[in-house]
Amino acid sequence: MDTSAAIQFSVIIPVYNRIAPLKRALESVLNQRVNDYEIIIIDDGSEPNTQHQISKLINDLPESNRPLLLRHQSNCNGATARNTGIKAARGEYIAFLDSDDQWHEDKLTEVSLAISLHSKPNLIYHQYTNVTLGKRAKAIPEYGKKNGTSVAEYMFVENHKVGIQTSTITVKREIALTCLFNETLNGHQDWDFILRIGKLTDDFHFIPKSLCNRHLASGDNVSGGLSFSFSRRFLKEYVDYFPYTAKLCFISRVLLRKSLNENKFSNLLVNIDFWFAVLYDCKVAWNTIKTHRIAGKRVSKRLIHLAKVLHNKNINKVIIYGANNYAKEIIGFLKNTTVVGVIDSNSAKENSKIEGVSVTLPEERLREIEGGDEERIWIILATDKYMKEMTKTVVQNNASLTNRIVCF
């Protein structure tokens, strides 16, 4: 890692109450094949014990590899943390890495090559791979933004919300300083940042190769914690960045799903743009409505079955594995069983709660459960696809729970 005055990259890693994922992210930077970079870690007001562990993680590194650690006295949000890093950066380019993501070892090599071969683009980004409980999905997005195409069209019309993910972005420092992240937003921070950069410059370069693993939450149908009302306000505030077709696709591909999940569909019906969205993006809109109706019937049957299982086994306390829409349904449905917690691998992104129940990391919560509890706690796996992987995680962290797992 270069600590001289002139460096090519400043790597910015915001973190809040994370250790193991941060260590993985940090190692992925230290394993880069180039060393023309500095690392800036911004601890966004983690709890004292986590602060100590973060400091130890950094101080245990050789001085030549030691990142700069900046610390907020209280938890702000990811946007504020990234801005703190941007303002402290010395590199010609700023490369962002979320603390739960992981770069491939040739990431900076490929980006450096693109900078050299393409006359120093203002922004470089690349494909990434979603990883859920060890399962890798297909690399996305399939292709880059064409010159003249707006960022909103690229993300919401062409790529169905798959766009330019934060951990794939490398941007010139002066542009990052000009745009900065919107610190008033608790979500859609990446959309805000890239939409405003797209207004400033069209000089984007895309690398058609996955150079980052994006580690996702444990369950299915992840809610993300961003409400229909929040996303609707976002669209209203940023409407000037959306060509009309992009606005329609945001309605049909973001707001429609959220309105159905939150029983606020009637709020869309009175919006004339919704009907234009249905006409313009009819296949996606009707598939969303159809899928929601089918899923609703299936979930109702599964909830009734779950209640019978809990009653027959005399289960009074449960922890739900998966901070997703299934967890919301389960919490709202159970009357005679207490949900004492929700566990999810991405819990520390914010002060996480779902339906008022705290969300913690699986490794932390599972190890706290004692096998001989008088009122024994059971684990509900809120998932369609990842039962095997979740079961393995539970057993690895607490073998006494092997026979106390219920599949939703």
How much is the average pLDDT of 294-298? 82
Q: Which residues contact 241 (CB under 8 A, 6 or more apart)?
A: 150, 151, 152, 195, 196, 198, 199
pLDDT digits (tens, 9 = 90+) for 313-338: 889 899 999 888 888 889 988 888 89
pLDDT band at 219 (very low <50, low <70, confident <90, very high): very low
pLDDT band at 348 (very low <50, low <70, confident <90, very high): low
Burial 1-30 (b: 16+ CB within 10 A, else e): bbeeeebbbbbbbbbbbbbebbebbbebbb
CA–CA separation, 349 and 306 (whole Å):
29
Identify the residue with better confidence: 3 or 387: 387
Burial 155-188 (b: 16+ CB within 10 A, else e): bbbbbeeebbbbbbbbbbbebbeebbbbbebebb
What percent of the chain lies above the pLDDT cut of 70?
94
Statement: residue 100 has pLDDT above 60: yes
Statement: residue 222 has pLDDT above 50: no
Q: Which of 59-63, 112-116, 251-255, 360-364 has the lowest mean pLDDT?
A: 360-364
Query: pTM of the prediction?
Result: 0.83
How much is the average pLDDT of 284-292? 87
| DSSP states of 344-398 | -TTGGGTT-EETTEEEE-HHHHHHH--TT-SS-EEEEE--SS-HHHHHHHHHHH-
Burial 104-118 (b: 16+ CB within 10 A, else e): bebbbebbbebbeee
Q: Domain spans of the chain? A: 9-215, 299-407
Assess contact for 299 and 325: CB atoms under 8 A.
no
Statement: residue 356 has pLDDT above 90: no
Average pLDDT value over all residues in the chain: 89
How much is the average pLDDT of 203-212? 96
- What is 9-215's CATH topology? Spore Coat Polysaccharide Biosynthesis Protein SpsA; Chain A (3.90.550)
Statement: residue 167 has pLDDT above 50: yes
Assess contact for 37 and 108: CB atoms under 8 A.
yes
On whether the 299-407 domain is CATH 3.50.50.60, my answer is: no
Statement: residue 384 has pLDDT above 50: yes
For residue 288 the two structure tokens come to: 């969303």
How much is the average pLDDT of 215-239? 77
User: For residue 109, what is the enclosing H or E element?
Assistant: helix 107-117
Q: Which of 64-78, 144-158, 279-293, 373-387 has the lowest mean pLDDT?
A: 373-387
pLDDT digits (tens, 9 = 90+) for 173-188: 999 999 999 999 988 9
pLDDT band at 8 (very low <50, low <70, confident <90, very high): very high
The phi, psi pair for 133, rounded to 5°, reads 50, 45
Name which of 154, 129, 127, 152 is nearest 142 in CA terms: 127
CA–CA separation, 173 and 164 (whole Å):
18
